[in-house]
Every structure is written in structure tokens, then in C-alpha cells.
Amino acid sequence: KNQVEQSPQSLIILEGKNCTLQCNYTVSPFSNLRWYKQDTGRGPVSLTIMTFSENTKSNGRYTATLDADTKQSSLHITASQLSDSASYICVVSANTGFQKLVFGTGTRLLVSP
């Protein structure tokens, strides 16, 4: 069964600190992996997209890594800001016709002043 699991479920960090979110997946055949940021009551916004041949990709203070062999990904947030408080969702695309997306349940991050 295609699944995406994320950890931790929730996280509280102090403003300015770094954090790393984890994602494990069992989606096959793998096409690409995305990290989205979702503010409460809003739609997800894409942070990074990686194919199997990419093992790291950055977007400002966000850096995603991908290990296609172990089927693991991480999202590292550097120098956190209050506006980083949101849910971070790992999404894996299966290479089945229309690129079906399999969503994780997300990590809820709270950045505290």
C-alpha cells in the first residue's frame, strides 16, 4: 500500500532555532517527492520538489534531502521565524498515469517567541 509517514507529529521550537522534519514513504513506482507548507485554513504551498536523481534542494531557509534508496526525506528549517508556524506536508507522487499524489498527515510546527 502506498503510504507516507511523517515525524514528529508536532514540534515546538524557539524563534531562531533550527529544526528537521522527517518523512518515510513506501510509494511505488516513485516519481517525485514534494514538501508543502500549509497555513491554517489555507491551501498547501509548494516548498521543494525532488526527483529520484536529486538528493538535496534548497528554497531560502528550507533545505530538503532525499534518499531514494532508504525512501526517506527530511526538511531542514534554518533560523526559524514566527511565520514558519504551519503544517509541513510531505507528498510523494506515484508514476501512475496522472501522477497521483500520496500525502502524509503533516508535522505541525509552532515557532515560539
Partner 1 sequence: DTGVSQNPRHKITKRGQNVTFRCDPISEHNRLYWYRQTLGQGPEFLTYFQNEAQLEKSRLLSDRFSAERPKGSFSTLEIQRTEQGDSAMYLCASSLTGYGYTFGSGTRLTVV
Give the binding site for partner 1 (CB under 8 A).
4, 31-32, 34, 36, 41-46, 49, 89, 91, 93, 97-101, 103-106
Compare residues 15 and 39 and give the one whose CB is closer to partner 1.
39
Nearest distance from C-beta of residue 113 to partner 1, angstroms = 25
Compare residues 43 and 60 and give the one whose CB is closer to partner 1.
43
The beta-strand segments (E) located in 1-113 are: 4-7, 10-14, 19-25, 30-38, 45-51, 56-59, 62-67, 72-77, 86-94, 100-103, 107-112
- Is 33 within 8 Å of 92 (Cβ atoms)? yes
Report the C-alpha gap between 37 and 48 in whole angstroms.
10
Nearest distance from C-beta of residue 79 to partner 1, angstroms = 26
Compare residues 97 and 113 and give the one whose CB is closer to partner 1.
97
